[in-house]
A and B are shown apart, each in its own frame.
Chain A
Amino acid sequence: MPDRTIAVARRVLRQLAHDRRFLGLSLLAPLLIIYVSKAALDSLNTGFFDVTRFVVPIGAFVVHFITYVLCAIVLVRERTAQTLARMFVNGYRQADIIGGYVLAYTCLATVQSLLVLGALSMLFHLAYPVATLLSIYLIIWLLAVISICLGIFVSNFARTEGQVFPFIPMVTVPGIFLSGLVIPVESLPRWAQWLSHATPLYYANQLVRQIIQPHATLAQNWPRLAALAAYGLVVLFLATGTLRESD
């Protein structure tokens, strides 16, 4: 890995370590949301409605939402503080900057995904085999990494921190309604079914729903996993390609 990418990642990690409140909140927030979701799902668990099929997708959505929102603002902050311009003049390139950010936030997402899966297992008494739990962890983790790239990509189109906010519902709301999290994708109109492919949650949900079936393995579902990974690569390239040095 290029030295400059590692330098950016180390600097971002150092900043995260110094900002303990941010670190604490970004790790606590998903746990709180899951706890609230548990209360809501418990009230629906009347026998007519099987909540277990929603549990892991909700966990995946929470990680996606939090990671995406956290990362949507990072490069705008660099731009407004003029540190982005300074990085470029010092010789850092687009790939170094994006790569460094993705690397650093992936460390955070790794812990976040682990905490979320732990919370889901404890609160909802998930009785999946270890292999299934590991597969679920990998999917949630991959979704978190993709959400980092997506947040950074969106961040490239905003010039001020205020301009980021309209981008947040533009990505998360279609994620809720089009990904199959609440409404089955098959029951959506055809145009909405096409649009559902634009949200990473669609690929993650499809995969999670398959993985939690008895005897299902990740290897059997490799095309879905590959689709999720390909989505991530496309967003990573888009994020790198759209990071502009000048206005």
Chain B
Amino acid sequence: MPPGAVASNAVELAHAGKRYGRIEALKSIDLSIRSGEIFGLLGPNGAGKTTLIRLLTGSTAPTSGSAKILGQAPRSVRSQIGYMPQAPALYEDLSPRDNLRFFGRAHSIKSIESRIDELLDFSNLREREHDPVYAFSGGMKQRVSLACALVHRPRVLLLDEPTAGVDPRLRAEFWKHFRALAGAGATLLISTHQMDEAVLCDRLAVLSDGCVLACDTPRELLHRGRATIRVWRGAEVETTLVDNYRDALPGVLRPYNLDPSVTRIEIEQETMDHVVLSLIEARRNA
């Protein structure tokens, strides 16, 4: 958590479930996100990430349990919520300035034009501020969409795959913005299925088939993964696979301690992709 942030929960889900007819999109989710935290929702397509975000925007109500933002029902604190849907969700025949003005007017912002100027600078769109959005690239539309979510300075940001279809350079730029927003005290919930992004979050929840499979810091999640330990004695190599390597590693390496024949030890940790896939597979097998 960034220094200075208030140690309270900005987002709370308690046994939250959502059913669409016979489909159970979310199954009794318990999650809490601290103020000023960047929280990642990681999972494959259809895992329930968008449904969870929709519960938090108040766009849909949970069929069981509760979803709260800043301790209240989402619909009663909408002025504190910034939402960026998966699709750009913009009026494409209008300019970025018009889009920002429209979404800003819902919040009766006093000096709206200067706030729009700030956001156009922030999203690097000043030169194209009067062009229609349909003429923009996917990345530029995402920037306009993010700016629209920020127009009223929300305390909680719900971003549904904000970097989908965005090139690596722009993605890095987005993450710089996210970190700056969290530093200023905003809470960010970001859904993604890109593992390289997930490791940038303060904490992560892995979601699959509507269930939270794990919720921890990226570092802790990586430690839950398996590791391959290769011990060389000259040309001869001995390979050992260990689960939960951080706890298991001392025990595995102890026999080699002070063994003069050991020439090299190599530890290969699983990547986040493998950790997540293993969690999903383990769940499906169970």
Query: What residues of chain A have their CB less than 8 Å away from a CB belonging to chain B?
Result: 3-4, 7, 11, 14-15, 18-19, 81-83, 85-92, 245-247
Contacts and interface: CB of A to CB of B under 8 A. Distances in A.
B107 A91 contact: yes
B89 A246 contact: no
B89 A19 contact: no
B103 A86 contact: yes
A246 B91 contact: no
B interface, how many residues as a size bin? 20 to 34
A89 B81 contact: yes
Contacts of B86: 82
Contacts of B81: 89
A85 B85 contact: yes
A246 B94 CA distance: 25
B78 A89 contact: yes
Nearest to B132: A18
B93 A19 contact: yes
B102 A7 contact: yes
A81 B102 contact: no
A103 to B, nearest CB: 15
A81 B89 contact: yes
Interface string B1-41: 00000000000000000001000000000000000000000
A147 B230 CA distance: 76
Contacts of B58: 88-89
Contacts of A4: 105-106
A4 B85 CA distance: 21
B45 interface: no
Contacts of A92: 106
B93 A18 contact: yes
A11 B102 CA distance: 7
Interface of B: 20, 54, 57-61, 78-79, 81, 83, 85-87, 89-91, 93-94, 98, 102-103, 105-108, 132, 148, 152
A86 B105 contact: no
Contact of A3 (B20, B87, B108): B108
A19 B91 CA distance: 12
Contact of B87 (A18, A82, A90, A247): A82
Contact of B94 (A3, A14, A86): A14
Given A86-B148, A90-B103, A81 B87 contact: yes
Contacts of B78: 89-91
A245 B61 CA distance: 11
Nearest to A91: B106
B81, B83, B91, B106 pick with most chain A CB within 10 angstroms: B106
A245 to B, nearest CB: 6
Given A18-B93, A91-B106, 19 more contacts: A3-B105, A3-B108, A14-B94, A82-B85, A82-B86, A82-B89, A83-B89, A85-B54, A85-B57, A86-B103, A86-B148, A88-B58, A89-B58, A89-B78, A89-B81, A90-B83, A90-B107, A245-B59, A247-B20
B108 to A, nearest CB: 7
A88 B106 CA distance: 10
Q: Which 7 interchain pairs have the tightest Cβ spacing?
A: A7-B105, A82-B89, A246-B60, A90-B106, A89-B83, A91-B106, A82-B85
